[in-house]
Structure 1
Amino acid sequence: MENFLHFKTNVQLKSIIGKDLINDDNIAILELVKNSFDADAKKVTVSYINQKYNDDENVEQFSSKTSRLIIQDNGIGMDIDDVQNKWLNIAYSSKKLNKTQHKRRMAGAKGVGRFSCDRLGEYLNLYTRTTKDPLYYKLTIDWKLFEVEDEGKQIQSVPLKYETLTQNEFNLLGFKNFKHGVLLEIIKLRSKWVYPIYDKNKNLISWDVSKFVDLKKYLEKLINPHQAFEINDFGIFIDTPEFIQENLSKSVHERFIGKVENRIFDTLEFKSTVIESKTVDNGKAILTELKDKGETVYWIKEKNSFYPQIKDTKLSMYFLNSYAKAFFTKQTGIQSVNYGSIFLFINGFRIPPYGDVGNDWLALDQRKAQGTRRYLGSRDIIGQIEITDEDNDFQIISSREGIVNNENFRKLTSSERNDSYFYKTLRRLERYVVEGLNWDSSIYDSQDKEESTKLKEVESKIISGSLREEDLQYREDERTKKSRVYATIHTLIAAKASEVLELYINENLIIQKIEEEREISEREFNQLIDDFAKKKIDGEILSKILHKKAQENEELEKQLKEFSKYTTNDATSKAILEIQLYKNTIEKQTFLIKDLQNQLLELKNQKESAENSANTLKNKIIKAESDLDIEKEKNLYLLATRRTLSPDADGLIHTIKINNIEVRDGIENIIDNLTENDFEIHSLIEKLGFLKVCAERSLKMAEFVTRADLKEDIEKKDVDVVKYIVEYVSLYGNTFSDSLSFSFLNENEKLIKNISVLNMSIVLDNLISNSVKWNAKNIQIEFIKTNEKQLVIYFSDDGIGLSKNFTNNSKQIFELSVRDIPPAGASGSGIGLYYTKNLLSEINSDIEFSGNGLKLSGATFKIIINTI
């Protein structure tokens, strides 16, 4: 015959899930605060009464002078059915079935948090009211009634008294009326919250209120405003009317009366290195961003290899160097080492004791002991992990001290092979700090006693506010650190190409590094040319330089290959193009250095016939021009702008030809001298050096063609004419002559016109070239806006000016093939000014000669730009 048995709930169950389970007063208060939050309260107040003087030790039960803790909220409240069937129903929680209520994610789900009242005091009076009922309900509990040794007595056999109160009756108890909510009056507190302080004569001089200070700081760290609720949607307040004076005597950071707020991470970002990571795309991807002192170094979006265990999670970690730790103390009033490390928040509330001082829940310190200069410990970083847990995947232990160590928790925190969400993110921060910043050390970071003393002085000045962030000194400058970061950026990111969805690397980091390398390379190259002209270079040195260039080219090729593995965003892609352009420059320099090598060999064989030497030089120039064409075609291919020159490019070709005429005529002079055996080595080298400068200038102008979208530039588009001229001349003016200077008047004028910027650049090139031919050293460009539809530009130089042959009939100089011979003796083609006038005419504009000596000492041309 079948028989059945049943569990019994002994009366001592109360202590097991009450004062014996929750062994910390602050945790107990947090549990009750979370219940207020779940009840849709906008405000909860924690008040302490009768703390200085009470009769706790003199009365068997309690009186009006007995110590009290009152926790009151303005939530929805309870009716008597709720009190009976929910509040008094042990382990029952409606939050288990409905994780989101009142547009909030529920903070509790165990159904035992209410027994925190037992931990805090011996007696409880619960008052509650709803908006539907004008009456208050009062439930009275004496917890000692459950603390009896009786095998047969069950917890439900203890009667609990309840009564209804009118508003007047409720007022007589000393409380203010409320329309809805719960008021917990916890009486005869089990713990002392304050202690008297006596002098040596046993006179009371003050009160130790450190537990109030600790409670405030504890609650501050337990709230995550970014995750749990909207700003100002929920507030916790602490009130201790007996200790107003003691509160005011504290520093701002240690005052305990008032609203509890967690703003600890709001402003640290600009004084530290921070990494932030979060799941996106419904948990299927992870977006991680690393910032250093407010500037994004990189961000990466990749597949979430920890899905589905990690799916609605955010992680923030801050590395604190010596200076940042001082700023932290200045901001919070507490040293970071005494604040804690990495905290865990679930649905907006912190899970203690994770992150507390001395709690190494992530094994950070255990790991750092294995490599102090390789790993970050709990003293080096602070931060938080935020989890929104709709499915109770991260189960809180009933004692409220931690999380169940299940598969979800291991995927979040496991340090084994760094195979967890936390450690994958930590390693990226770690690599950046250790390998990129070299720990971002202060100049005083060392074991030296004197240096250590200086560091403490600096930290004191930071905390006092007498030392600004920009005045801080580091062991390494920013350029050194950024160069190292750039050199190791792919190692620092440490991502599998197959898992990367999108990558951004700070474009300034790339461009700045390339510009620095380009500047050094050009300076070394120019020095090489100078030394070659002065016969300070031999074949062995040239071979070493060529080897270095080969290494640079190989390194750039390696970088391009590494970047090509990832899908990068537009800004990063444009920066990568600069690497390709710099690689092209290195290749050109390599070609020219090889050419110098050949020239050096030729100079050693001066016994050869002058004609053979001239022909060899001429062939090399032809080869250089051919190689330049090949290089330009390569750049056009790299920029994916395959095109053929059209008649619209004639003007630009003419501009380049102006330079190449100098090269051609110079070569012919050298050939003549060599043929007649009328030359000196030094004079020959000087002339070759001049021809090299002209060739370089043509190369730079050819680079302009390959960098620009020629088709786009030929087509007309709306531009600010003044701004374009200023920018163009500033960027490309130095290709004409190193000794040529430009100045602008009224450059803030503005006129928008639909023009071809390529045609405008040809106009400017022709005018500048003419000025150079006529010995100009300075060019002044003045902008005058005569009305809203017309702009007048005066182009003046300090050259010799227009010759007398044309001053009386200056219109002739704009006719085809009309030319004059400048002081240098080499006349032009006679099409420059003709083509300039035609190009301006196409856009309903004009140019005319104004005269000599009007602005500067040379010629002045007047350009009239009309918008209609």
Structure 2
Amino acid sequence: MAEESELHFDVSTGLKRVLGRELITDDEVAIFELVKNSFDANANTVRLHFEEDQIVIADNGDGMSYEDLTGKWLFVAYSAKRSGRPDGDFRNVAADRRHYAGSKGIGRFSSDRLGASVLVQSRKKGQSKLVQCLLVDWDLFENDAKEHFDRIPVTHAEQEKFDLPKDLRNFEPELSHGTVITIRQLRRPWPRPRLLDLKASLAKLINPFGQEIDGFGIHLSVPAERAEDKRVSLMALKKKEKPLPREIVNGQIGNFIFSTLKDKTTFIRVVIEEGQVVTTLTDRGELIYKIAEPNPYPSLVDAGFSCEIYYLNLSAKTTFARRVGLPSIQFGSVFLFRNGFRVFPIGEESNDWFGFNRRKQQGFSRFLGSREIIGRVDVSGSDEDFQEASSRNQGLIDTPAVAQLRRAVMEHCLKRLERYVVPVSWTDAADGKTDDLSRLLTDPGRARVSAAVANLVDNDKVQLIAYSRKLVDLINERSSDFESSLVSLRAIAEKTGDKKMLARLESAERRFDDLKKSEADARRVANKALAAAEAASIRAATAEAEIETERRRAHFLESFINVDSATILNLHHQVTIYAVDIAQQIENFLTETAGKNSVPRETVLRTLEQMAFLNRKVMSVTKFAAKATFKLDSEKIDTDLPGFIFDYIEQIAKTTGSARLQISVENLHPGMRLRFNPIDASIIVDNLVSNARKARASRISFVLSKQDRGGLIIRVEDNGRGLAPGTNRARIFEMGYTSTQGSGLGLYHVRQALGEMGGSIELDDQVSPGLGFIITITARSKSA
């Protein structure tokens, strides 16, 4: 065997280009790498300053000593972060505050991408008062590719203070320690569009949820752009608006849109802590549920995993676009942050690293995709588990921990959010256009929320920690969803061991059964009498029937007709049923409160509300009986809803109202056929008219028009006194809430009736003086 000898690698100056411009292929990524170094140096502030031919990046981090510069910064591909050395090492970070954003030891070559030379000034925390300076001319490395890398000189000097541009001198008091990097002889200019793009990217780099999460702020200063910033701000001021952050170059970088979205849309937050996956779902400011379950992801136990995903309905998308200045889809989807810094390109518009869009293609109407969601996933850990690709813009290298990360986001974040959004919000198309809970506070809305929570906790491993008492509660016994809601509420009460809720459910179920039995008996008696009367009427009034078929058909007759025996019995039929219902409510209340010295206000209010609603039905029947061309013995009719409301206002509300209140109606809708309860429609109109009269209005108007996809919008406006001072506008539709001497039931009944019709009501802030409402009813072929 030939004699062995040792050889060694030699390194050409060409290594600089490989680690610099050829590895870091994007100017923005190059700046990101330098900002990451500031973050890793324990800085809380970094200043980016752009001049015509230089970029300055200054931070108040731990800084570097002479030994750090010579033994580590100039040691190619060495990373003290990766070596895991103790405190005091190169730009080390306290473990209890941050993990490292970078660990390749090549970020220092980012400056080569940006300019021909770099000046590094640094003062070590707690050590020398002198500032250490290194000047590197990158072009010297390109004169001869055969030259040895380590033979290219780098200039070192010491000075008493940092040499800063004029605009950064106000930052000098914070630089008792820190680093200032000045990149000169820029390879490309930075016009305003590039600077705005950089600012937008940096905002997503540090934290799209606001800087308070990691206590790290970035400030951008570009003197040449201040005049244009001022012009943009003045233009916005003339429109009585604030300039959009993405339109202004100078200032602090950050995204504060998410603090607004938290109260405007549905979002889920999932964290792994103490061996459990803890999930909290919030809908438009209301906590819907908080659950805990065993953690099935061993690689994420100590990884600080957290995920926050927002569902953007149409209203939230509009808010986002208005505040940020571009559609949410262009901003990005779900970003991944490793050790506090963004991992590119995960979350970009065309990136589907989590697989959301591939899955959505399998069920477009059942699954959420990147167009409907936006959010952030955080994870921390070593390169062994979570390592970025060397190119810095290709995401994470696949490892078992990365596979578990993807699965956790899909199974416990996206799918959990989906299991609420699809059955609760997507079922009601109009809910996607609201930024409040108005449509969920109706009986059908509450029933959907209760069912979603019940389905979620139907698992022995899931612990229900908290849930919304506002939305997950007993609904009205008259609602068609009452019985199915009882099943959901029972499952939730049993899961939480809520004995009070179980007792309330038992009581509600008894009242409901008694009510159904009484109503069934009343219907049998009334139906028998009505059938006999109708048979007699048919025999005795054939001629009158033939005349009636020739008359103009409408929902209501043009004038009062003679009240014949059939009409009287029709009236009697309905009044009998509602009167029996009222009697049963009274009996239920007396039974429930027997032997008690005091009765909770909530119990009294609930019973009075039921009776008030039934009484309102009786009053409506008496109005209908003389004028309706349809029979009231069936609960629902299938007809043109806008036409029905128009006819009701013209032929009944006007003629039975007060002479002091002028009522007008305009129907601009081409027609929308719907199956609905006519009594519900009358209650909506009558309550709004009654409220206007109490507010001493002299006029009230109803304008019916077409909504998108054929839905109905009703704008109601009166010239009364409006809301009383101090009224909580968010509560005016709640049962029993009143700022006057009223019952607090009128607007509550309006919202409940609309809920049964698939509609909602909200205040119209554009009406003043007086009071206005906007009613929205979604178009659909049938209503249950």
**1:296–1:506 contact (8 Å) kept in structure 2:** yes
Pick one of 354, 357, 363 that aligns with 1:362: 354
Aligned pair 1:333/2:333, yes or no? no
Counterpart of 2:220? 238
Distance in 2 (alpha carbons) for counterparts of 1:438 and 1:30: 39
Q: Aligned to 1:40, what secondary structure does the other structure show?
A: coil
Distance in 2 (alpha carbons) for counterparts of 1:170 and 1:484: 64
Query: What code does the residue aligned with 1:255 have?
Result: I
Distance in 1 (alpha carbons) for counterparts of 2:460 and 2:144: 66
Q: Aligned to 1:10, what secondary structure does the other structure show?
A: coil
Q: Flag the 1:80–1:443 CA change in 2: closer, same or farther, 3 A.
A: closer
Counterpart of 1:380? 372
Q: Aligned to 1:271, what secondary structure does the other structure show?
A: coil
1:368 to partner: Cα distance:
2.4
Counterpart of 1:36? 38
Aligned pair 1:580/2:580, yes or no? no
Counterpart of 2:670? none
Distance in 2 (alpha carbons) for counterparts of 1:142 and 1:68: 14
Aligned pair 1:132/2:127, yes or no? yes
Distance in 2 (alpha carbons) for counterparts of 1:286 and 1:239: 42
**1:271–1:324 contact (8 Å) kept in structure 2:** yes
Q: Aligned to 2:204, what secondary structure does the other structure show?
A: helix
- Structure 1 portions without partners, runs of 5+: 51-66, 195-208, 415-419, 446-467, 522-550, 604-688, 714-720, 740-868
Aligned pair 1:704/2:593, yes or no? yes
- Structure 2 portions without partners, runs of 5+: 86-91, 234-242, 530-577, 615-784
Aligned pair 1:263/2:236, yes or no? no
**2:519–2:580 contact (8 Å) kept in structure 1:** no
Counterpart of 1:510? 472
**1:486–1:509 contact (8 Å) kept in structure 2:** yes
Q: Flag the 1:82–1:324 CA change in 2: closer, same or farther, 3 A.
A: same
Q: How does 1:127-166 map to 2 (within 5 A)?
A: 127-130=121-124, 132-147=127-142, 150-151=145-146, 153-166=147-160
Counterpart of 1:217? 200
Counterpart of 1:433? 421
1:242 to partner: Cα distance:
1.8
Q: Aligned to 2:370, what secondary structure does the other structure show?
A: coil
1:102 to partner: Cα distance:
7.8
Distance in 1 (alpha carbons) for counterparts of 2:262 and 2:584: 51
Q: Aligned to 2:472, what secondary structure does the other structure show?
A: helix
**2:451–2:485 contact (8 Å) kept in structure 1:** no
Counterpart of 1:108? 102
What is the total number of aligned residue pairs between the two structures? 539
Distance in 2 (alpha carbons) for counterparts of 1:332 and 1:270: 17
Q: Aligned to 1:519, what secondary structure does the other structure show?
A: coil
Q: Aligned to 2:257, what secondary structure does the other structure show?
A: coil
1:441 to partner: Cα distance:
3.2
Distance in 2 (alpha carbons) for counterparts of 1:174 and 1:564: 63
**2:42–2:93 contact (8 Å) kept in structure 1:** no
Aligned pair 1:118/2:112, yes or no? yes
Aligned pair 1:250/2:232, yes or no? yes
Aligned pair 1:181/2:181, yes or no? no
Distance in 1 (alpha carbons) for counterparts of 2:304 and 2:292: 15
Q: Flag the 1:730–1:240 CA change in 2: closer, same or farther, 3 A.
A: closer
Pick one of 31, 51, 54 that aligns with 1:68: 54
**1:39–1:77 contact (8 Å) kept in structure 2:** yes
TM normalised by structure 2 equals: 0.60
1:103 to partner: Cα distance:
5.3
Q: Flag the 1:305–1:567 CA change in 2: closer, same or farther, 3 A.
A: farther
Q: Aligned to 2:509, what secondary structure does the other structure show?
A: helix
User: What's the CA shift string for 1:681-725, capped at 9, x where partnerless?
Assistant: xxxxxxxx999999986664443369x8xxxx8xxxxxxx9xx79
Distance in 1 (alpha carbons) for counterparts of 2:609 and 2:30: 75
User: What's the CA shift string for 1:262-310, capped at 9, x where partnerless?
Assistant: 32311102221212222222xx111212222211222221112223335
Query: What code does the residue aligned with 2:509 have?
Result: K
Counterpart of 1:486? 450
Q: Flag the 1:95–1:594 CA change in 2: closer, same or farther, 3 A.
A: same
Aligned pair 1:275/2:268, yes or no? yes
Aligned pair 1:294/2:292, yes or no? no
**2:229–2:250 contact (8 Å) kept in structure 1:** yes
Among all aligned residue pairs of Structure 1 and Structure 2, give the percentage whose two residues are the same amino acid: 31
Pick one of 560, 566, 590 that aligns with 2:495: 566
User: What's the CA shift string for 1:591-630, capped at 9, x where partnerless?
Assistant: 7689999999xx9xxxxxxxxxxxxxxxxxxxxxxxxxxx
Pick one of 68, 87, 100 that aligns with 2:73: 87
1:221 to partner: Cα distance:
0.9
Counterpart of 2:647? none
Q: How does 1:420-819 map to 2 (within 5 A)?
A: 420-438=408-426, 441-442=429-430, 479-491=443-455, 493=456, 497-511=459-473, 514-516=474-476, 518-520=477-479, 558-559=487-488, 562-563=491-492, 566-567=495-496, 570=498, 574-588=500-514, 700-704=589-593
Query: What code does the residue aligned with 1:146 have?
Result: F
Counterpart of 1:784? none
User: What's the CA shift string for 1:68-115, capped at 9, x where partnerless?
Assistant: 111122223222111001111122222221584285313222211111
Counterpart of 1:305? 296
Pick one of 371, 382, 385 that aligns with 1:393: 385
User: What's the CA shift string for 1:215-269, capped at 9, x where partnerless?
Assistant: 11111111128798667x4321111112211222335221011111232311102
Counterpart of 1:25? 27
Q: Flag the 1:508–1:731 CA change in 2: closer, same or farther, 3 A.
A: closer
**1:394–1:404 contact (8 Å) kept in structure 2:** yes
Q: Aligned to 1:497, what secondary structure does the other structure show?
A: coil
Distance in 2 (alpha carbons) for counterparts of 1:30 and 1:422: 28
Counterpart of 2:403? 410
1:333 to partner: Cα distance:
2.0
Q: Flag the 1:436–1:142 CA change in 2: closer, same or farther, 3 A.
A: same
1:355 to partner: Cα distance:
1.0
User: What's the CA shift string for 1:701-759, capped at 9, x where partnerless?
Assistant: 443369x8xxxx8xxxxxxx9xx7988987899999999xxxxxxxxxxxxxxxxxxxx
**2:133–2:156 contact (8 Å) kept in structure 1:** yes
TM normalised by structure 1 equals: 0.55
**1:275–1:317 contact (8 Å) kept in structure 2:** yes
Q: Aligned to 1:344, what secondary structure does the other structure show?
A: strand
The structure with higher relative contact order (CA 8 Å, sep 6+) is 2
Counterpart of 2:700? none
Q: Aligned to 2:299, what secondary structure does the other structure show?
A: coil
- RMSD over aligned Cα atoms: 4.4
Pick one of 12, 19, 27 that aligns with 1:10: 12
User: What's the CA shift string for 1:516-544, capped at 9, x where partnerless?
Assistant: 2x2359xxxxxxxxxxxxxxxxxxxxxxx
User: What's the CA shift string for 1:331-356, capped at 9, x where partnerless?
Assistant: 22222122111111122221121112
1:496 to partner: Cα distance:
6.0
Q: Aligned to 1:566, what secondary structure does the other structure show?
A: helix
Q: Which has the larger displacement, 380-389 or 420-429?
A: 420-429
**1:365–1:378 contact (8 Å) kept in structure 2:** yes
Q: Which has the larger displacement, 242-251 or 404-413?
A: 242-251
1:426 to partner: Cα distance:
0.8
**2:49–2:57 contact (8 Å) kept in structure 1:** yes
Q: Which has the larger displacement, 23-32 or 157-166?
A: 157-166
**2:450–2:485 contact (8 Å) kept in structure 1:** no
**1:344–1:384 contact (8 Å) kept in structure 2:** yes
